[in-house]
């Protein structure tokens, strides 16, 4: 009998899940004990704080999230105090200010990639909410001292939970981020090799290549996002972070370079020579061998053997070899060099050697409309909950104001947040009955005995933590665990009020359902407007690429294109299968930047005025032609600029004949790309939407 994988996470947990759940119980027990000992007003917020920190149990990630949580809590607490100081006599204005603060935090969270930083923004919004709403709910019993007490209590509870979770994570069965990075790196390299092989497969389909790129990008983002936390794990942490970042950059470069070869093979078979076909066969065989081996050393040996073969094959080319053939061999050599660097960086994750290259981390794509959609969603959820609270004056509406804010901010960057919230909503409906009919009756007999209190809480929370330990069941566990703790409200003054628990259970479930509906109603932009901005920003990068330091240009472009590629895949998923070409468009932009850098690297440091002018004009023509092709238009200026650049190079002795042939091959290959892009993408735009060359941003 086969058990459902979701049930298997609970019924047949593995050792890692059991350890994770045990650490979670211990951290929450410690947080609750200290919160009760310090006589904090609402000790259960320390438990919730500890739960969220345990979602990613690796030491570096827990420390990083703890820092983000404490920072967000302190900032949110300060803002909450300011709102109360100015607007306590005007509750509606205070709620409006709080709504603005929540919207700003939610919008700002859309401009970062790491989940820990997003969590910091969520805590800034939630802490301010807790500090402002409770005094407003009891204005007659509120004084300046009472307000300060509420603020310090909420901040103390949340920080206490963070500190306890961090201590337990470091002292008991510590899991380290370096192991996670090795797993991410191994997956990213395997996915890259599979994509390299697929690009050279004559039977490969566009759908398979597109799916492979999607999977590869997810692995690259996971590696990049987690690499920042490894710096908290000892003196070797920064070196491992640099190695992980280098792998991200080189895998992106590999994907961009192999597409040059793949597209030439698929669309221009008439231009292929026997030497070029032999090269493709050798490359594919080598990539297959590297992917199938289980030894990193063996993969390195295969890559080095491939580099030796390419070096010899290039030397044996005849003098009259076609420029396109020379270019293809050069691309293969550069691709192999990038692959060897990626494998060396992967080795550095194990051998603690320092990586000297300081490549920039992958930058999040920052779009005002995306941030506005995320901020508007969280603010609207809070406004609806606040309206219900003001209209009904029901204490249960306070829970309706808190829980959706946390989840709408934390889940906004997920691929399918509405599905995640749907799962969390389903299990939140179980928290009320379990609290009412199982936990609270048991705790009522505990007679304030702390050990019995923990034993009564441990069972349901342990099961929820088992679910949280697996990515596929995490929403179910989180949807149960957090509402369950809020409903039970463990502490020194538990009231066991059935009416309160039932009303709060209804409010929490209603709040999560409201957040789910907002994710369905307000989705981040994925239509023509976003596509137009993504294309424009890529073209601007191509325009301004030469203004960066020469030794950092490729890494600068890679770091900016990575998240942009993710958004282009989002745009593709919103289109029919036959029109999903925008991921290819983004990869083409990345490759054009790399090719242009290679061409400019052949220009001497002190060129003639004619060559300098021709090179600058060619770079701008390249960016303009790329942007025009994305709208289905073509421009003869690029071909004219290419001819002018080659003519200017004729009079430069430092550029050899072989180099000019390679550059001519690169220009020929690029000139084949733009008409194909224009033909594919032209159908997506109305004639009035297609810009002219004079409209393009320079």
- 604-613 residue pLDDT tens: 888 888 899 9
As a whole number, mean pLDDT of residues 577-586 equals 86
Q: Running DSSP on this structure, what letter comes out for residue 684? A: G
Tokens for 651, please give them.
């009079």
Q: Looking at residue 175, what is its pLDDT?
A: 83
* pTM (2 d.p.): 0.86
Q: Buried b vs exposed e over 454-475: b needs ≥16 C-beta within 10 Å?
A: bebbbebbbbbbbbbbbeebbb
Query: Which contacts of 222-225 are long-range, i.e. CB under 8 A and separated by 24 or more positions?
Result: 222/184, 222/187, 223/181, 223/184, 223/185, 223/188, 223/247, 223/248, 224/113, 224/248, 224/361, 224/362, 224/562, 225/113, 225/114, 225/115
Given a cut of 70, whether residue 355 has pLDDT beyond it is: no
Given a cut of 90, whether residue 121 has pLDDT beyond it is: yes
Measured CA to CA, the distance from residue 102 to residue 459 in angstroms comes to 34
Instruction: Please list the alpha-helical segments (H only) found in 110-236.
Output: 115-137, 144-171, 177-199, 206-227
For 534, the enclosing helix (H) or strand (E) is: helix 528-544
Question: What φ, ψ does residue 362 adopt, rounded to 5°?
Answer: -65, 130
Q: How far is CA 397 from CA 47, 148, 174, 213, in A?
A: 21, 23, 39, 45
Is 694 or 341 the better-scoring residue by pLDDT? 341
Q: Looking at residue 1, what is its pLDDT?
A: 52
Q: Looking at residue 322, what is its pLDDT?
A: 82
| Lowest mean per-residue pLDDT among 378-387, 412-421, 529-538 | 412-421
Is 343 or 296 the better-scoring residue by pLDDT? 343
Measured CA to CA, the distance from residue 504 to residue 501 in angstroms comes to 5
Is 182 or 402 the better-scoring residue by pLDDT? 182
Q: Looking at residue 623, what is its pLDDT?
A: 93
Q: Answer whether 151's CB lies under 8 Å from 81's CB.
A: yes
| Lowest mean per-residue pLDDT among 187-196, 275-284, 472-481, 689-698 | 689-698
Q: Answer whether 170's CB lies under 8 Å from 195's CB.
A: no
Confidence of residue 352 (pLDDT cuts 50, 70, 90): low
Confidence of residue 204 (pLDDT cuts 50, 70, 90): confident
Confidence of residue 358 (pLDDT cuts 50, 70, 90): low
Helix then strand then coil, % of the chain, to nearest 5: 80, 0, 20
Q: Looking at residue 378, what is its pLDDT?
A: 92
Q: Which domains are assigned to the chain? A: 5-176+367-521 (no CATH), 177-232+237-351 (1.20.120), 528-695 (no CATH)
Residues 6+ apart with CB under 8 A from 415: none
Given a cut of 70, whether residue 692 has pLDDT beyond it is: no
Confidence of residue 353 (pLDDT cuts 50, 70, 90): low
Given a cut of 50, whether residue 103 has pLDDT beyond it is: yes
As a whole number, mean pLDDT of residues 37-63 equals 85
- What is the longest distance spanned by two Cα atoms in the chain? 94
Highest mean pLDDT of the ranges 201-210, 235-244, 518-527, 539-548:
539-548
Q: Tell me which residue has tokens 């282009």.
A: 568
| Lowest mean per-residue pLDDT among 289-303, 405-419, 527-541 | 405-419
Q: Looking at residue 2, what is its pLDDT?
A: 64
Residues 6+ apart with CB under 8 A from 586: 534, 538, 561, 564, 565, 568
Q: Looking at residue 627, what is its pLDDT?
A: 92
Q: Answer whether 98's CB lies under 8 Å from 126's CB.
A: no
Q: Answer whether 280's CB lies under 8 Å from 327's CB.
A: no
Strand partners, 175: 58
Given a cut of 70, whether residue 354 has pLDDT beyond it is: no
Q: Buried b vs exposed e over 307-340: b needs ≥16 C-beta within 10 Å?
A: bebbeebbeeeeeebbbbbbbbbbbbbbbbbbbb
Residues 6+ apart with CB under 8 A from 267: 672, 676
pLDDT over 90 percentage in the chain: 27
Q: Looking at residue 452, what is its pLDDT?
A: 87
Tokens for 205, please give them.
């389909």
Tell me what the pLDDT averaged over the chain comes to.
86
Measured CA to CA, the distance from residue 280 to residue 265 in angstroms comes to 9
Question: What φ, ψ does residue 58 adopt, rounded to 5°?
Answer: -65, 140
Q: Answer whether 633's CB lies under 8 Å from 596's CB.
A: no
Q: Looking at residue 380, what is its pLDDT?
A: 92
Q: Tell me which residue has tokens 């990869």.
A: 587
User: For residue 499, how far is the Cα from the chain centroid?
Assistant: 42
As a whole number, mean pLDDT of residues 111-137 equals 87
Q: Looking at residue 698, what is its pLDDT?
A: 43
3: number of Cβ within 10 Å = 11
Confidence of residue 503 (pLDDT cuts 50, 70, 90): confident
Confidence of residue 145 (pLDDT cuts 50, 70, 90): confident
Question: What is the dihedral sign for C-alpha 391, 128, 465, 374?
Answer: positive
Q: What is the end-to-end Cα distance of the chain in Å, rounded?
A: 64
Q: Looking at residue 697, what is its pLDDT?
A: 45
Q: Looking at residue 695, what is its pLDDT?
A: 54
Q: Looking at residue 144, what is its pLDDT?
A: 67
């Amino acid at each position: 009998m086969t058990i459902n994988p979701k049930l298997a996470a609970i019924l047949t947990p593995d050792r890692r899940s059991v350890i994770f759940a045990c650490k979670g119980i211990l951290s929450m027990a410690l947080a609750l004990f200290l919160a009760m000992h310090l006589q904090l007003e609402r000790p259960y917020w320390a438990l919730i704080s500890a739960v969220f920190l345990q979602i990613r149990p690796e030491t570096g990630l827990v420390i990083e999230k703890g820092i983000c949580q404490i920072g967000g809590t302190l900032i949110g607490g300060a803002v909450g105090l300011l709102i109360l100081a100015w607007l306590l006599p005007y509750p509606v204005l205070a709620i409006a200010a709080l709504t603005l603060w929540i919207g700003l935090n939610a919008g700002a969270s859309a401009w970062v990639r790491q989940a820990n930083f997003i969590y910091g923004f969520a805590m800034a919004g939630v802490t301010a909410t807790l500090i402002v709403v409770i005094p407003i709910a009891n204005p007659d019993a509120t004084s300046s001292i009472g307000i300060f007490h509420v603020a310090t209590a909420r901040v103390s509870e949340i920080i206490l939970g963070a500190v306890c979770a961090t201590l337990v994570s470091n002292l008991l069965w510590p899991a380290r981020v370096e192991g996670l990075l090795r797993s991410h790196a191994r997956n990213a390299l395997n996915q890259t090799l599979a994509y390299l092989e697929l690009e050279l497969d004559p039977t490969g389909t566009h759908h398979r290549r597109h799916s492979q790129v999607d999977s590869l990008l997810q692995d690259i983002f996971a590696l990049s996002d987690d690499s920042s936390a490894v710096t908290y794990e000892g003196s070797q942490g920064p070196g491992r972070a640099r190695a992980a970042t280098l792998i991200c950059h080189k895998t992106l470069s590999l994907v961009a370079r192999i597409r040059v070869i793949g597209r030439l093979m698929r669309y221009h078979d008439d231009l292929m020579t026997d030497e070029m076909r032999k090269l493709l066969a050798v490359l594919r065989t080598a990539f297959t061998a590297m992917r199938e081996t289980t030894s990193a050393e063996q993969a390195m040996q295969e890559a080095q053997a491939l580099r030796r073969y390419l070096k010899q094959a290039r030397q044996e080319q005849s003098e009259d070899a076609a420029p396109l053939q020379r270019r293809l061999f050069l691309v293969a050599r550069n691709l192999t060099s990038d692959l060897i660097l990626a494998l060396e960086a992967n080795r550095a994750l194990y051998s603690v050697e320092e990586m000297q290259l300081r490549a920039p981390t992958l930058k999040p794509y920052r779009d005002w409309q995306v941030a506005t959609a995320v901020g508007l969603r969280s603010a609207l959820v809070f406004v609806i909950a606040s309206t219900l609270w003001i209209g009904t004056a029901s204490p249960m509406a306070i829970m309706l104001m808190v829980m959706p804010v946390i989840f709408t901010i934390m889940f906004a960057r997920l691929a399918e947040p509405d599905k995640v919230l749907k799962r969390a909503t389903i299990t939140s409906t179980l928290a009320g009955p379990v609290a009412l009919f199982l936990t609270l009756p048991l705790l009522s007999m505990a007679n304030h005995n702390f050990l019995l209190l923990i034993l009564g809480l441990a069972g349901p929370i342990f099961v929820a933590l088992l679910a949280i330990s697996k990515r596929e069941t995490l929403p179910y566990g989180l949807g149960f665990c957090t509402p369950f703790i809020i409903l039970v409200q463990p502490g020194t003054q538990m009231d066991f009020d059935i009416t309160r628990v039932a009303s709060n259970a209804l409010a929490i479930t209603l709040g999560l359902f409201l957040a789910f509906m907002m994710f369905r109603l307000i989705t981040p932009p994925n239509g023509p407007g976003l596509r137009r901005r993504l294309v424009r920003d890529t073209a601007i990068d191509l325009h301004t690429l030469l203004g960066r330091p020469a030794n950092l240009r490729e890494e600068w472009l890679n770091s900016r294109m990575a998240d942009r590629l993710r958004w282009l895949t989002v745009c593709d998923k919103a289109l029919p299968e036959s029109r999903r070409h925008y991921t290819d468009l983004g990869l083409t932009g990345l490759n054009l930047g790399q090719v242009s850098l290679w061409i400019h690297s052949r220009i001497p440091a002190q060129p003639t005025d004619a060559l300098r002018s021709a090179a600058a004009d060619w770079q701008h023509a390249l960016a303009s032609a790329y942007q025009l092709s994305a709208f289905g238009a073509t421009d003869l200026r690029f071909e004219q600029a290419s001819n002018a650049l080659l003519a200017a190079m004729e009079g430069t002795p430092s550029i050899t004949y072989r180099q000019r042939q390679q550059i001519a091959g690169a220009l020929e290959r690029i000139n084949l790309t733009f008409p194909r892009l224009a033909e594919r993408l032209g159908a997506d735009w109305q004639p009035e939407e297609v810009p002219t060359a004079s409209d393009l941003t320079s």
